[in-house]
Structure 1
Amino acid sequence: MPESTDSKDQVPHWVTRAQGVADHLADDLVEELRNGGKQTRDDLQHGLAHGARELTRPSPALAAFLHDLEHPPAHLDPDVLDRGSQAWFIHPGWVHAIALSAGSLVKVYRCPSIAAALAATGSLVNTAGTRLDATGLWVNSALLPGALHPGKPGYIATAHVRLVHARARLAALANGYDPAVHGSPINQADLLRTWLAFTHTSFRAEAMIGYTWTESELAVLYRYWQHIAHLMGIEPHLVAHLTGPAAAAEADRQLAGRSQSPAAPEADVLTHQTIEAVAETLEAQVKLSAAVGRPLLRALVTRFHAGSPDRSLPARPLQSALAALRPVVRLGYRWQSRPARRAALITENLALTRAYIHSLDAHRPNR
C-alpha cells in the first residue's frame, strides 16, 4: 500500500517513484511491432484473441506482454468478471457520457504531465471527437459482463489502450516532451491518475448529477476495475488497496500533491474541445441543442472540478440551478431504479450500450 507523507507540501515517495516508471512490456512490444512487420502484428491479434499458447513462435516482447495479460496478480477476484459490472448499467448512457467526459477526461487533462504528453503527440489536441469516441468504445466494451475474460472484446480493447499509451510515450519523447520536468511520459503515476479518473472521479460525478450506487455496488465496481488496471499495465501495488471511495479519494489527493505544478495551458484547449465534442454528441443522441449543452457542460465541469482550468466557465446562477435540480433528478432516478424495475433497467441499458458499441465499431478504421 502506498505510504503517506508527513508534509502536506511534499509529494509522497511512492508518487515520485511512479513518475519515473513507465510500462516496459508495452514499450518493448511497440518497438517490436515497428520492426517486425505484418507477422508480428498478426501474431498480436491472434495472441490476444486466442492466447499465447496458440502462437507457434511469438517474438520475445510479444510473449512477455501476453504472459503478463494472462497472469493477473493474486489480489484480483475472478468472480466479478461475469456480473461485477452490472451495476454500471443501472445508470443511463447519457449520464456515463457526461461523467466520463466532463468528469474523467477533464480530470486527466488537468494533470500537467499528461497534458504535456498529449500535446507533444500533436494530433490528440485536434481530434477531441475521435478521442471521445475511442474512450466511449473502450470503456463500454470493457464493462460489458464477461468482457474482460481473455479473448473477449473488453480484454482486447484494454490491451490495445495499453499499446496506445506506449505509442504515445514514444511520440511524446520524439516531439519535445521533457522527462526531467514531468518524469517518464504516461508513467505509472499518470496511469493511476487515469484509472482514478475513470473510477473515483467518474463515480463521484454521477453522484453529483443525482445518480448514485449503493456502497456494496461501488465495492464490486472497484473490484471489477481492478482487472482493468491490470490489463492497462498498472503495477499491482499501486491499486491493490483501492477497493472503495475512501481509499481512492486518498490516493487521488496524494497524487494531486501541493508541490505539483499548475494545470498546463494545453488543459484549457483539451477541455474546450472535449466540451464541444460532447455537446455535439448529446445533440445527436438525446436531441439536446448544442447551444444549451455547451453552457450546461461548462457548468458541470466547474461543479465536478473545483478550480477548473477552463476560464470561460459559467457564473453562479447556472451552478445554483444545477445544485437545485440534483434532488429532483435523484428522486426520479430512485423511482426508475426501484427493485421491481432494476433487472429490466439493466437489460435495457445493456442493449443500448451494445448498439452504441456497434455503431462506433462500424465506423472505426482498422488498427
Structure 2
Amino acid sequence: MATRLTAGDPLADAVVAELDLYGTGARRVLDVGLRRGLASLDEPPPAAVAALLKQVESAPTWVDPLMLHRGDVVSQSVPPMWFGLCSITSALAYAYASPAVAGPLARQGQPAAMAAHRLAKAGVWTRQTIRPGGLLRGAPGYVATVDLRLRHARMRAKALKDWDAGAEGLPIGQLDMARTWLGITHVAFRTLSVIGIDVTAEEERSLHQYWSYVAHLLGLDESLYGDVADRASADRLRDLLDWATAAPDENSRALTRAMIDAQARAMAAAPDAVLSEDQLRVLIHNVLRRSFGDGTADRLGIPTPTATDLMPLIGTLNRQARYWQTFSPASAQAARRQEPEAAEPEPTAVVLPLGIALRQGTAVSHRAPTAA
C-alpha cells in the first residue's frame, strides 16, 4: 500500500498528454476506437491512444463472456430508489472522504452548484455499467468507464500543477481510484444491508467478479483488487485504504453535504415521491451514519438525525420483500428484470431534480479536459 501512495495511471496520463498535444483529431480517433475498436481505425492513432485501446480490448483470461452479457445481476436486483439513496450516496461519500479526491473536486467550482451534476454523472455511469451487455466492447458502460479513467487522469494532471510536493501521496492516484471502485461495490452493499437489502455469499462473489473487470478498465493495479472476492477480503482492502488515506477535511465535508442535499432535493422532486426533501435528507443521514459509523460520519459532517428512527421498520420490510423476490429462481429472475426495464430512459429521475434532463442521453463525452 505504501508504494501505491505515489502511483498513478501512466497509460491514461500519457493519453491525456497526447490529447492536449494533438487536439480534436486525437479525441475523435479515441472516440471511434472506443466505440468500434482499434482495428476499425483508418489511420494509425497516436502511440498512447493505441496502447490504451489495446489494453482495454485485451480482457483478462478470467473474464467470462456470459457474465458480461448478463451484466451485474446483483446490482440489477436492487430497487432504483434504494440504489440511488444508498449505493450512489455512500459511494460518493466514501470517495469524498479522501482529501486527495475532495481537494481537486472542490477547486472546480462551488460544491452546491456542482453536486447535482456529479450525482448525475455517477448515477448514469453506474447504470450503464451494470446493465446486460453494458461492458461489452463499444457498449455505453465500457465507453463510460474508460472515459472516467481519463477524467481521473485529467484531474490528476490539473491537481499536480499546484500540489504540495511535500504532501504524502498523489492526487487521484491508485489508492483514490481504488476508493471509487470499492465505494460502488463493497461500501454500497454494506450500506444497502443497513436498510435490509442483503446479498448472499454467492451473490457477493458474483458482484466482485463482475466489478473486477471494471477495475481492469479503470486502470487499477491488479494487486489492489485481484484478491477481493468476498466480504472479508473487501473489508481488508477497505481497512488498508483507510489506513493510507488522510482524515476527511473541510472540502470532504462540503462535498458530502452538497451531495446529500442534491440527492434529497432530486428524490423529493420525482413524480412518485412520498417523502419531503427534509424527510429524505434525514433518511440519508441516518443510512450513512449507520453504514460508516459515528466516528467517520462525524468527520464527514453528517449530522445525527433527531427525528424518529424508522430504520428498523425499513430494514424489516426490505428483508421480507427480498425474501419473496429470491424465494425461487423464477421470482429472482423477475426481480432482476424489473430494474433495467424501469430504468429507460436514462435514470436521471433518481439523481436530478424534476425538469432537468441530461440532453446528451447515453452519449459520453470524451473530451479529456472536462472532469466530473
Question: Under a length normalisation based on structure 1, what TM-score does the superposition of the two structures give?
Answer: 0.89
Equivalences for 1:3-82 in 2 at 5 Å? 15-55=1-41, 56-82=43-69
Of 244-253 and 67-76, deviating more is: 67-76
Deviations 1:19-49 (A, max 9, x none): 1110111111111111212211110111001
The alignment partner of 1:73 has SS state of coil
In the alignment, the residues of structure 1 paired with residue 78 and residue 164 of structure 2 have an alpha-carbon distance, to the nearest angstrom, of: 41
Match of 1:226 among 212, 215, 220: 212
Q: Given the superposition, is the C-alpha separation of residues 354 and 244 from structure 1 closer, same or farther in structure 2, using an over 3 Å criterion?
A: farther
Equivalences for 1:212-291 in 2 at 5 Å? 212-257=198-243, 260-285=245-270, 286-287=272-273, 288-291=275-278
> Does residue 136 in structure 1 map to residue 126 in structure 2?
no
> Does residue 154 in structure 1 map to residue 156 in structure 2?
no
Displacement of 1:366: 6.8
Paired residues of 1:169 and 1:186 also in contact (CA < 8 A): yes
In the alignment, the residues of structure 2 paired with residue 328 and residue 358 of structure 1 have an alpha-carbon distance, to the nearest angstrom, of: 26
Paired residues of 1:103 and 1:197 also in contact (CA < 8 A): yes
Deviations 1:243-287 (A, max 9, x none): 111101111111111x74321111110111011111022112341
The alignment partner of 2:259 has SS state of helix
Of 97-106 and 350-359, deviating more is: 350-359
Match of 2:317 among 308, 324, 328: 328
Paired residues of 1:120 and 1:177 also in contact (CA < 8 A): no
Displacement of 1:358: 8.0
Paired residues of 1:84 and 1:220 also in contact (CA < 8 A): no
Q: Given the superposition, is the C-alpha separation of residues 134 and 206 from structure 1 closer, same or farther in structure 2, using an over 3 Å criterion?
A: same
Displacement of 1:180: 3.0
Displacement of 1:192: 1.0
Of 247-256 and 342-351, deviating more is: 342-351
In the alignment, the residues of structure 1 paired with residue 78 and residue 183 of structure 2 have an alpha-carbon distance, to the nearest angstrom, of: 18
Aligned residues: 350
* Unpaired stretches in structure 2, ≥5 consecutive residues: 350-356, 366-372
In the alignment, the residues of structure 1 paired with residue 36 and residue 130 of structure 2 have an alpha-carbon distance, to the nearest angstrom, of: 20
Match of 1:172 among 150, 156, 159: 159
Displacement of 1:124: 6.1
Q: Percent identity?
A: 29
In the alignment, the residues of structure 1 paired with residue 300 and residue 147 of structure 2 have an alpha-carbon distance, to the nearest angstrom, of: 31
In the alignment, the residues of structure 2 paired with residue 105 and residue 97 of structure 1 have an alpha-carbon distance, to the nearest angstrom, of: 11
Paired residues of 2:282 and 2:305 also in contact (CA < 8 A): no
